[in-house]
Structure 1
Amino acid sequence: MRLDIRHWEMLKAINESGTLRQAAHVLGITQSALSHRLGEAERRLGGLLFEREGRKLKETSAGRAMTQTANQIIPALQRAEFDFQQKADNQVSVVRFGVAAYSCYHWLPSFLKTMTKKEPGIQLELVASATQNPLKNLQDGTVDVVLAPGHLIVPGIDSIPVFQDELVLVTHLTHKLAAKAFIQASDLESEQYLTYSKSAQPGFEYERFIRPSGSVPHLVTVVEVTDAIVELIAAGFGVSILSRWAVQSAIKNKNVSVIQVGKDKLDLGWSALVRKSEPSESAARRLSTRLAEWFQG
């Protein structure tokens, strides 16, 4: 290796800060020392990592690949040290866990009780950012296990089936569609439709239900937090097609109504996603197995 760990730390700091001055402050060294370190790295590699644009530094095309790698390996090394300390002190494995797309944790306390009994050596750490960027968080090591809806085929990621769910139309209790046994896509033509995704997700309602029909909702509004979507619907602002399981608390509390989507329903599978590099007996894979057992039990 031509670069030392301090050079990789420098790349990450510059990438996140944008200027030498700010990056030097983050690293706790002088700007002059950081400038020398950058020059040293570029001499060792034989090319420029950054170009100056006024006071800011912009990655070169070759430098971009290096900073992307730095953004992955530095957090991974930091977490490895933290996990080692946890294991050395307590014999406990920390598994960072998140739920993709939905902010739903009504099931978590009960599951944690089961985990405490069956896997006392595993400590769960909830990572909220996994809701918005699950695959990126998984790939860069920010999270170890993601409970995700839909069927995902991603290089370097294993998908372990956990449970079967259903996509349903969520409406206000007194909405005109609430009395129907099921809806057709044409029923949405006069509706304000709320969605948490800016783009159509493969295997979800747009691809399987809305687009094939040729019908489109009257107005589509993106609300990136699903909890907020449910609150807006409960207040009478729009409708949405969401996971029945994810909105179970709102259904139980009679805040919203849910209606079957299509005559034949829209099934939705949930899976536990882990990195393929995880050993077969790792804490992350054991957690995935326990999730499947718990949901299917």
Structure 2
Amino acid sequence: MSRINEWQGRLPLLDLRHLAMIDALGRTGALTQAAEALGVTQSALSHRLREAERRLGVALAEKRGRGVVLTLAGERLRVTAQRLLRDLAAVEAEVTEVGASGIRHRVVLGQAAYADVRWLPDFTAWLGQRLPEVQVTLHAGMGGSTVEDLLEGAIDLLLTPTRPLVPGIDLAAVGTDALVALAAPGHAWAAKDEIAPGDLVGETFLSYSFERHHDLENARFMQPAQTFPTRVIRVGHTGAVFEMVAAGQGVSILAGWPARNRAERGDLVLRPLRPEGSAAPGLPLVWHAAVRAGEAADAAHRTLAELADWAGISRAFSEGGRP
């Protein structure tokens, strides 16, 4: 049976000394220089090389003239060695920094689809005054974070314009907003005061999402009127939606808070929605923050409570609020 990709709790055959040796040999191409770089004697390094080759049962380096070169197996090992050594150095520096700062908990924040994080510095400053032992970091992801990321542990706190209907999470409302229509200044929608479902006919609709949500535009604006865009392009990211709408390549409907922030550039117009049968324009939505269900005293739940308090004061995620 192949040992490739097998972990199963078995310790690796090599340790960090062997990985550092392989990297040093690859960089210097000579036993003497590699030994100097590692602060050991040439004899000790030669012994370490033979030990690694014995453990793996394969040659890792061979003499070439006055120097040494890594074999194919050695080169492959060096790629992984460099990554592991680099990652370990980064983690050590991070742990040292965290230990010196008094931080005992880290909460990874994910934001659904929207890349606007201008609110984050104000919130982290607020949090630092109230929970100095908690550090919030932002989860990187081109397409935004999802409830699945939260449940699987990739993130600890999710900010979303929907109200997830799944078990195993605790929610807090953090802002009252509205869905708005987006178009380029030269588009026909720019001349309208509001957008009705019928205005979608004949349009190319740009969507960031590859799934339909129960409380966003498809379920609450299009389906009740049984009126849909002529063409839908799903681009997977709101940043792409903004740019394509601004370029006149289609229209869209998004949450008002990030749309208003993006529209400050002047290349987008925003219009309120008037749903079928509504007496007045406006399609409200509520921003929520979610954490995995658990003890209220854990770091994620305490951060959730602080986010709700801060958002209520700053109105950062609310219509008419500041970014």
Correspondence 1:260-279 to 2 at 5 A: 260-262=272-274, 263-277=280-294, 279=295
1:23–1:104: structure 2 CA closer, same or farther, 3 Å change rule? farther
Letter paired with 1:173:
P
1:90 matched to which residue of 2?
Answer: 102
How far apart are the structure 1 equivalents of 2:99 and 2:257? Answer: 35
1:29–1:248: structure 2 CA closer, same or farther, 3 Å change rule? same
> Could you tell me whether the CA contact under 8 Å between 1:189 and 1:217 is conserved in 2?
yes
How far apart are the structure 2 equivalents of 1:179 and 1:28? Answer: 68
Q: Which runs of 5+ in 2 are unaligned?
A: 14-93, 275-279, 314-323
1:238 matched to which residue of 2?
Answer: 250
1:27–1:173: structure 2 CA closer, same or farther, 3 Å change rule? farther
How far apart are the structure 1 equivalents of 2:144 and 2:154? Answer: 13
> Could you tell me whether the CA contact under 8 Å between 1:149 and 1:271 is conserved in 2?
yes
TM-score, length-normalised on structure 2? 0.64
Correspondence 1:30-41 to 2 at 5 A: none
Does residue 114 of structure 1 match 2:97? no
> Could you tell me whether the CA contact under 8 Å between 2:110 and 2:145 is conserved in 1?
no
> Could you tell me whether the CA contact under 8 Å between 1:106 and 1:249 is conserved in 2?
no
1:59 matched to which residue of 2?
Answer: none
> Could you tell me whether the CA contact under 8 Å between 1:86 and 1:94 is conserved in 2?
no
1:290 matched to which residue of 2?
Answer: 306
> Could you tell me whether the CA contact under 8 Å between 2:109 and 2:139 is conserved in 1?
yes
How far 1:112 moved relative to its partner?
2.1
How far does the alpha carbon of each residue in 1:170-209 deviate from its partner, in whole angstroms, 9 at most, with x for none? 1112211112121111101111100111222111111111
Letter paired with 2:160:
A
User: What's the C-alpha RMSD, in Å, of the aligned pairs?
Assistant: 2.7
Larger Rg: 2
How far 1:126 moved relative to its partner?
0.7
Letter paired with 1:207:
A
How far does the alpha carbon of each residue in 1:22-45 deviate from its partner, in whole angstroms, 9 at most, with x for none? 446x97747xxxxxxxxxxxxxxx
> Could you tell me whether the CA contact under 8 Å between 2:143 and 2:236 is conserved in 1?
no
1:58 matched to which residue of 2?
Answer: none
Letter paired with 2:206:
L
> Could you tell me whether the CA contact under 8 Å between 2:104 and 2:134 is conserved in 1?
yes
Correspondence 1:1-297 to 2 at 5 A: 20-23=3-6, 29=12, 86=98, 90-129=102-141, 132-262=144-274, 263-277=280-294, 279-297=295-313
> Could you tell me whether the CA contact under 8 Å between 1:169 and 1:258 is conserved in 2?
yes
> Could you tell me whether the CA contact under 8 Å between 1:130 and 1:146 is conserved in 2?
no
Taking only the aligned residue pairs, the percentage that are identical comes to: 31
1:228–1:242: structure 2 CA closer, same or farther, 3 Å change rule? same
Q: Which runs of 5+ in 1 are unaligned?
A: 1-18, 31-81
Letter paired with 2:114:
Y
1:220–1:28: structure 2 CA closer, same or farther, 3 Å change rule? farther
